[in-house]
Amino acid sequence: MVDDDTVLQRVELAPESLEHYADVAGRDVVDELLELGRSLRGARVAHVNATSYGGGVSELLRSLLPLYRGLGIDAEWLVIPGNDEFFRVTKMLHNALQGADDGPGDTDRELYLEHSAALARAFVDGFDFVIAHDPQPAALRQLRGRDGARWIWRCHIDTSEPNPRALEFLTPYIGAHDALVFTLERFVPAALRDHRVAVIPPGIDPLSPKNLALPANVSRGLVRWSGVHLDRPLVVQVSRFDPWKDPLGVIDAYRRIREEVPGTQLALLGQMALDDPEGWEMYRLILEEAHGDPDIEVLTNFTGIGNVEVNAFQSTADLVLQKSIREGFGLVVSESLWKGTAVVAGRAGGIPLQMPEGIGGYLVDSIDETVARSVALLHDPRLAQELGAAGRARVRERMLITRMLRDELRLLLSLG
C-alpha cells in the first residue's frame, strides 16, 4: 500500500540539444522539431511510468525527456512507487491485455484501485500535459478528477486480442484520458475506437550509449570479455526475460541451428526491471535450460551488462534472433538493424513495421522457419550484410526517436 506521505520519484535528466541529431536524422527533421518546440515552449509535461530502468519504456523516456527539455519544454519523468503485490497485479494486467487467459479477479481489482487511489492523491498539480504509460498508472486520470491538464494514455503492448475481463476492467480508466496512443492501428481495441486515438510507433535514439557507433575493436573486446569466442559464429537475443519473448524457444531453435552450423554460440541478454516480478522466474527457467551448455551465455543488467555491452553484442553478432510471440514494438529489432546486423524475428506486433519482407532479415512463424532462415544467413554472410544494410536505411528513415518526438509534439499541440 502507498501511504499519503508518498511522492512520485522524479528522474533527473539534463537537456539535450536537437542540433546533435542533425547529421544522423537530417537537417529538415531537426528544423521541424525546433519549430514545434517553439509552439510548446514553457509547457509543463509529465511522463509517468512504473520503473526508471529495464525495458523499452524506460529507455524511450531516458532519451525523450532530454530532447523535450532541449526544446525549452518543462518536461518531467515521474515514476510511481509500488510493492510486489501491486506489480504482480499490473504484470498480470499487462499479460492479459496481450491475450493471456488469466484476467483480474475481485481481489486484484480492489488492490489495483486502492493503490492507484493513493497514487492519485500523491500526484502533483500544475502540468499542462500528462502522459501515462501502460497499465500501471492507467487509473490515475479518472481517480484524480479534473485538474486542468490534458491526459494521454500511451499503450506500448500488443492489445489486438486482449483478455475481455482485463479490458472491461480497465476501459473506464483508459477512456477517461483526453487521447490514447497505440503503436499500430490494429492494436486499438473495439471498445476504445470511439475515443481520440493517435498511432505513434516508438523509435530508437541513435546517439544513446546503446546505439552510438562503437569502434570495432571496442565492441569485440567487450564481447570477448563476456566469455564469447570471436572466432566462432554468434547468435544473440536481447530482451526482458519474458514468456512473450520466448527465450526457451530461442534456446530450442539455437540448438538445432548449431547442428547445422557447428560451433555457433548463443548469448541471451536480459533486462531485469523493478515492475516485472515474473522476470526472475523466467530467468531461473532459462538458467536451468542452459545449464551445462558451454556455448550459451546468459547475461543481465545485474551481471555487468549495460547499454554499451548490449551495443557491442548487437554490433558483433552474426545474427540477432528475436523470436517474439507477442510484441508491442520490439525496440531491439531497430537497435540491431541500426548496427547493420541482420535479424530473424517472429512475425509479431510491431516487428513487421520495422523490417518488412526483404528488409533487415526474415520474419518467421515457426521454429522450423527460424532454424532454416538462421542457418541460411549464417552460411551466407554477404546476404546477411546486405539485408542488415537495408534495415539500417529503413530505421534511419522511419524508426528514430526524432520521428517519435515529432509525432508526440504534434499530438500535444492538437490537444492544447
Shared domain for 180 and 326, answered yes or no, is no
In a domain? residue 308 = yes
> Any idea what the CATH number is for the domain that residue 56 is in?
3.40.50.2000
Shared domain for 265 and 145, answered yes or no, is no
Nearest alpha carbon to residue 70 among 405, 302, 368 = 405
**Does the pLDDT of residue 2 top 60, yes or no?**
no
| Band of pLDDT at residue 133, cut at 50, 70 and 90 | very high
Shared domain for 236 and 189, answered yes or no, is no
In a domain? residue 99 = yes
In a domain? residue 2 = no
In a domain? residue 3 = no
What does the alpha-carbon distance between residue 133 and residue 60 come to, in Å, rounded to a whole number? 11
* Helix/strand/coil for 379: helix
What does the alpha-carbon distance between residue 173 and residue 215 come to, in Å, rounded to a whole number? 48
Shared domain for 65 and 97, answered yes or no, is yes
pLDDT score, position 396: 96
Report the chain's mean pLDDT, rounded to a whole number.
Answer: 94
Shared domain for 82 and 140, answered yes or no, is yes
| Band of pLDDT at residue 5, cut at 50, 70 and 90 | low
Which residue range(s) make up the domain with 298?
216-398
Complete DSSP assignment for 217-273? HHHHHHHHHTT--TTS-EEEEEEES-GGG-HHHHHHHHHHHHHHSTT-EEEEEEE--
Higher pLDDT, 54 or 370: 370
Shared domain for 41 and 152, answered yes or no, is yes
pLDDT tens, position by position, 30-60: 999 999 999 999 999 999 999 888 778 999 9
Into how many domains does the chain fold?
A: 2
**Does the pLDDT of residue 271 top 80, yes or no?**
no
pLDDT score, position 281: 87
The average pLDDT across 231-246 equals 92
In a domain? residue 140 = yes
pLDDT score, position 145: 84
290-320 burial: b if 16+ Cβ within 10 Å, else e: beeeebbbbbbbeeebebebbbbbbbbbbbb
Q: What's the N-to-C CA distance of the chain in angstroms?
A: 35
What are the Cα distances from residue 236, in Å, to 211, 228, 265, 287, 375? 16, 11, 8, 16, 14
Q: What angle do CA 175, 181, 183 make, to 5 degrees?
A: 135
* Helix/strand/coil for 47: strand
Residue located via cell numbers 479490458:
167
Shared domain for 384 and 290, answered yes or no, is yes
Q: How many whole angstroms from its chain centre is CA 376?
A: 28
In a domain? residue 127 = yes
Shared domain for 230 and 166, answered yes or no, is no
What is the reported pTM?
0.91
Shared domain for 66 and 92, answered yes or no, is yes
Residue located via cell numbers 516508438:
202
Shared domain for 304 and 361, answered yes or no, is yes
In a domain? residue 4 = no
Shared domain for 243 and 381, answered yes or no, is yes
In a domain? residue 133 = yes
Shared domain for 276 and 355, answered yes or no, is yes
Complete DSSP assignment for 285-347? HHHHHHTT-TTEEEEETTTT--HHHHHHHHHH-SEEEE--SS-S--HHHHHHHHTT--EEEES
pLDDT tens, position by position, 147-204: 899 999 999 999 999 999 999 999 999 999 999 999 999 999 999 999 999 999 999 9
Residue located via cell numbers 488492490:
111
